[in-house]
Structure 1
Amino acid sequence: MLSTPAELRATTSAPSKPMGSDHHTVAIPPMPDYNGRALAYTAAAAMIVTGVLQNAFHQWQLWLVVAAFVWPHLAYLLTRRTFLRKSPRIRQKMLIFDCVVGGAFVGCIGLVAIPSASVALMLMFSCLIVGGIRQWMLGTGFLVATTAATLAVAGGPAENFHAPLLTSIVSILATGIYICVTAYYSHQQAQALMLAKTQIQNQREQSIALSHKLSKYLSPQVWQSIFTGERDVRLETQRKKLVVFFSDIKGFTELSEEMEPEALTELLNHYFNEMSEVALKYGGTIDKFVGDSIMVFFGDPTSRGQREDAMACVSMAIEMRKHMKIMRQKWRSQGIKTPLEIRMGISTGYTTVGNFGAENRMDYTIIGKEVNLASRLESLAEPGEILVSYETFSLIKDRIMCRDKGEITVKGFAKPVPIYEVVDFRRDMGPNRSFLEHEHSGFAMYLDSEKITEKERRTILAALEDAADRLRHEEDAT
């Protein structure tokens, strides 16, 4: 007469966990439509048999018992073995048909109170759970309409609406058993769904944590474009005009011969961490670390325009040079006496950028003669020097003071390449410059006035006055 209120015949599986974790499947205890419908129609058959034996119903209604036992099997065949299985919302449609059958049954027994109420209760209970208020209202409409139509055909309701005691007891028990059984399965399914939801949430959190771990092996811009779906992970490249940056540490080879590998590794990682923070601050895409070298490019995956990309790259290089002086003083306080200087090269031009490698192992990088030029400029630079190509110079010259360094011959370029040395921001030149430096044995000062707060300024002035008084006292003593 009706279908189960909550059917999930297949198991519900949470999404696959990250690689290396166990895969769990949450099995939701199913109560198929076939079982639910068979239980409901068996309950109706029990009411009919009892009612006929107690002369509450007509003898011919025993044929309804046969129909009650046949219909669940027929409904199963129709919904699982025929074209109806592909019909959308087939469960709701079959439940509406059950309401029509239930209404016809209620009309046939002449609205005898308790059996009629029992059938209606089972139908409404199923409608509410399967389809909510909308299904309940629809089912109620069909139930009432079919009942009224059947009563009109059958000649009206029964003379006595009261059913015999045994018939009433069987009706109530059958309805109670059906409701309890279906409610039990609904509860089991709700618990299983909550467990599945918890597992899915846990796996989602694990996937997010894993993705953040994997992001350490990619530049943040590349990682973001992949995980947001902006870029596909496949072998593809494109030609773009980029700004390419190379740097390395002058004196690192000599230092590696003096230090233990563990201490050297710690120093190098500290250096890479500090420089990476500067690169990301200016929006650079960190390509790779090779030995003590860093390769960064600007203009992909995101670009602010050629001029701004070039300006960001050179600004990054200037800040790296300043930051290197601060780190060098810190290393000196840790006993590293070898002077470590950074040297940098920057070029601008068309390169091939994208995924290179194999289908199962890719590297997002760039190739082209401009990459070779930037590397060559870095190797030609003096300690603490930033060399740029002519095209880079033409993009930044209005805001950056540069010095002509002549021309060099580079493989892949037909003509000699003009190069320039970056001096500083034009705004920081002269007496109003924000960055001051002074370094001697036993003394080092690096001042960036733009980054100093009012409270820090008073502390620094006090420290400088104390240092000046001490130097004057020692000078007077000599």
Structure 2
Amino acid sequence: MMSAQADLRNVASSAGKLASADIHDHTVAIPPMPDYNGRIIAYTATAAIIVAGILQGVFQQWLLWFVAGALTWPHIAHLLTRRTFLRRSPRIRQKMLFLDCVIGGTFIGLIGLIAIPSVSILLMLMFSCLIVGGIRQWLFGTVLMLASLAASAATFGVADSLQSPLLTSILALASTGVYICVTAYYSHQQARTLLLAKTQIQNQREQSIALSHKLSKYLSPQVWQSIFTGERDVRLETQRKKLAVFFSDIKGFTELSEEMEPEALTELLNHYFNEMSEVALRYGGTIDKFVGDSIMIFFGDPTSRGQREDAFACVSMAIDMRKHMKIMRQKWRSQGIKTPLEIRMGISTGYTTVGNFGAENRMDYTIIGKEVNLASRLESLAEPGEILVSYETFSLIKDRIMCRDKGEITVKGFGKPVPIYEVVDFRRDMGPNRSFLEHEHSGFAMYLDSDKITERERRDVLAALEDAADRLRQEDDAD
């Protein structure tokens, strides 16, 4: 059973890894345009603007030094961010872009704020800031650029004319357009890749969840939940806890197995286990195992409502199972199963060792201890339809559940005889106000639980009882 637990934990922790591996194997991931390439395009465009401006007499000749700087700076920046101590600096990409904003602002000031080249440089810088760092990067980049622009313009002055020749303007706008288009293309490809990755991860996650739900069928829901949420680790460890332990089996099952075909017997047994499991889960029980026609359940782990409430929930479950078994027995009789099937149950409360037992590659989440042996012994001593409980269980439930003293028994592992008690019913259901009624004869069976009948069902039940009463009266008059 705990091998399924390990599988569940592996599914939960490796869903993302599986999705990433699937993306790597089946798609070509296209990263955003590297800063190195983007910087080369931007500074090459700037160098082209400078050359055009100098050739047309708009810029001064000494700005040719900026051409050399524009063509070499991308390589220097790449070397600084990849090969020096700066590579360990947090957010180095954003910091280097701030430096580009300072350089760009200084250059705009040096060319005297000539309109179209200045706007071209500004657009490339602002677009880069938005792509790399969003609004925050854009705001800080703008402040740095304006500050360096103001300092440069104050030092070198503003050009006499802010207009630029046609060729310089066209080259500036074309260079800016090329840079923005290339950057936008890479951003689009990145968005497509991220969308595809998200879709594949979602599909992988759904597959992992589906697999985990399949594996969860081998575990009690409480154990599965604690493993899948990370509350419990899958390793060999145990702890001492005070639990309420329940055992039950079907009296007469051996005789029935000799009468029925294996397929029909399997279907009946699975139906029985399914019905009893729903009752157990409704009361919060942890289903330990099914062995033959026996069921082992415990209360108090992995979650507990306190010793008294755990014991009360366990005994309440047993009473409900006994009632439900009467209804199931009537259904089986209508299907041709004549052998009366009864369950017998035993419950004990005390300290047990609970946890993972077994080997590293095959574990079983279960409980051991003398209280487990006592519950099993009580179940074997019980008469059909009887619920036997230990003294400690009785002491925790006696104020709400009526029990009958059954004397003492000797159990291996206990130094003294063990007092045992038979569960009668809830105290609230005793006397004339009880909600559950039963009456059974050959040809007649009635099991009434008035607490579970709705108003609409109540009218149907009354009508059925009146029809049955009329039929019996007619037959009695005829006699």
Please, what TM-score do these two structures have when normalized by structure 2?
0.93
Aligned residue type for 2:231: E
Question: Do the aligned residues in 2 keep the contact of 1:241 with 1:348 (CA within 8 Å)?
Answer: yes
Tell me how far 1:198 sits from its aligned partner: 2.1
Using the alignment, how far apart are the partners of 1:51 and 1:448 within structure 2? 97
Aligned residue type for 2:332: W
Residue equivalent to 1:204: 205
Tell me how far 1:212 sits from its aligned partner: 2.4
Residue equivalent to 1:77: 79
Whether 1:303 aligns to 2:281 is no
2:102 to 80, 100, 110: 100
Whether 1:444 aligns to 2:442 is no
Aligned residue type for 2:22: H
Residue equivalent to 1:136: 138
Aligned residue type for 2:362: R
Tell me how far 1:47 sits from its aligned partner: 0.8
Using the alignment, how far apart are the partners of 1:393 and 1:178 within structure 2? 83
1:22–1:54 CA distance, 2 compared to 1 (3 A):
closer
Residue equivalent to 1:152: 154
Q: Please list every run of at least 4 consecutive aligned residues from structure 1 whose deviation after the TM superposition is greater than 6 angstroms.
A: none
Question: Do the aligned residues in 1 keep the contact of 2:345 with 2:382 (CA within 8 Å)?
Answer: yes
Tell me how far 1:228 sits from its aligned partner: 2.5
For residue 15 of structure 1, give the secondary structure of its aligned residue in structure 2.
helix
Using the alignment, how far apart are the partners of 1:427 and 1:364 within structure 2? 36
For residue 236 of structure 2, give the secondary structure of its aligned residue in structure 1.
coil
Larger fraction in helix: 2
Question: Do the aligned residues in 2 keep the contact of 1:352 with 1:366 (CA within 8 Å)?
Answer: yes
Tell me how far 1:191 sits from its aligned partner: 1.5
Using the alignment, how far apart are the partners of 1:132 and 1:462 within structure 2? 73
Tell me how far 1:14 sits from its aligned partner: 8.1
Question: Do the aligned residues in 2 keep the contact of 1:14 with 1:24 (CA within 8 Å)?
Answer: no
Question: Do the aligned residues in 1 keep the contact of 2:407 with 2:421 (CA within 8 Å)?
Answer: yes
Question: Do the aligned residues in 2 keep the contact of 1:52 with 1:59 (CA within 8 Å)?
Answer: yes
Whether 1:274 aligns to 2:275 is yes
Range with greater deviation from structure 2 (376-385 or 186-195): 186-195
Cα RMSD of the aligned pairs, angstroms, is: 1.7
Question: Do the aligned residues in 2 keep the contact of 1:56 with 1:163 (CA within 8 Å)?
Answer: yes
Using the alignment, how far apart are the partners of 1:102 and 1:256 within structure 2? 90
Using the alignment, how far apart are the partners of 1:125 and 1:432 within structure 2? 80
Aligned residue type for 1:124: M
1:294–1:474 CA distance, 2 compared to 1 (3 A):
same
Give the share of equivalent positions with the same residue, in percent.
83
Range with greater deviation from structure 2 (270-279 or 137-146): 137-146
Residues 415-443 of structure 1: per-residue CA shift (max 9 Å, x gap): 11111111111222222222111112211
Residue equivalent to 2:128: 126
Please show how residues 56-75 of structure 1 align to structure 2 within 5 Å.
Answer: 56-75=58-77
- Larger relative contact order (Cα-Cα within 8 Å, sequence gap ≥ 6): 2
Question: Do the aligned residues in 2 keep the contact of 1:245 with 1:345 (CA within 8 Å)?
Answer: yes
Using the alignment, how far apart are the partners of 1:127 and 1:435 within structure 2? 75
Residue equivalent to 2:467: 466
Aligned residue type for 1:253: T
Residue equivalent to 2:478: 477
Tell me how far 1:229 sits from its aligned partner: 2.5
Using the alignment, how far apart are the partners of 1:429 and 1:122 within structure 2? 86
Residue equivalent to 1:3: none
Residue equivalent to 2:46: 44
1:225–1:119 CA distance, 2 compared to 1 (3 A):
same
Tell me how far 1:61 sits from its aligned partner: 1.3
Using the alignment, how far apart are the partners of 1:145 and 1:236 within structure 2? 65
Question: Do the aligned residues in 2 keep the contact of 1:17 with 1:207 (CA within 8 Å)?
Answer: no
Question: Do the aligned residues in 1 keep the contact of 2:344 with 2:384 (CA within 8 Å)?
Answer: yes
Residue equivalent to 1:351: 352
Tell me how far 1:199 sits from its aligned partner: 2.2
Tell me how far 1:22 sits from its aligned partner: 7.7
Aligned residue type for 1:224: Q
For residue 235 of structure 1, give the secondary structure of its aligned residue in structure 2.
coil
1:34 to 18, 27, 36: 36
Whether 1:193 aligns to 2:206 is no
Question: Do the aligned residues in 2 keep the contact of 1:28 with 1:193 (CA within 8 Å)?
Answer: no
Residue equivalent to 1:338: 339
Tell me how far 1:394 sits from its aligned partner: 1.3
Residue equivalent to 2:319: 318
Tell me how far 1:208 sits from its aligned partner: 2.7
Residue equivalent to 1:8: none
Residue equivalent to 2:23: 24
For residue 367 of structure 2, give the secondary structure of its aligned residue in structure 1.
strand
Range with greater deviation from structure 2 (458-467 or 200-209): 200-209
Using the alignment, how far apart are the partners of 1:426 and 1:167 within structure 2? 99
Residues 299-336 of structure 1: per-residue CA shift (max 9 Å, x gap): 11111111111111111101100000000000111111
Residue equivalent to 2:224: 223
Residues 422-470 of structure 1: per-residue CA shift (max 9 Å, x gap): 1111222222222111112211111112222232222222212211222
Runs of 5+ unmatched residues, structure 1:
1-12
Using the alignment, how far apart are the partners of 1:112 and 1:274 within structure 2? 85
Tell me how far 1:351 sits from its aligned partner: 0.3
Using the alignment, how far apart are the partners of 2:32 and 2:173 within structure 1? 25
1:269–1:22 CA distance, 2 compared to 1 (3 A):
farther
Tell me how far 1:201 sits from its aligned partner: 2.4
Range with greater deviation from structure 2 (46-55 or 323-332): 46-55
Using the alignment, how far apart are the partners of 1:52 and 1:106 within structure 2? 15
Tell me how far 1:33 sits from its aligned partner: 0.6
Runs of 5+ unmatched residues, structure 2:
1-13
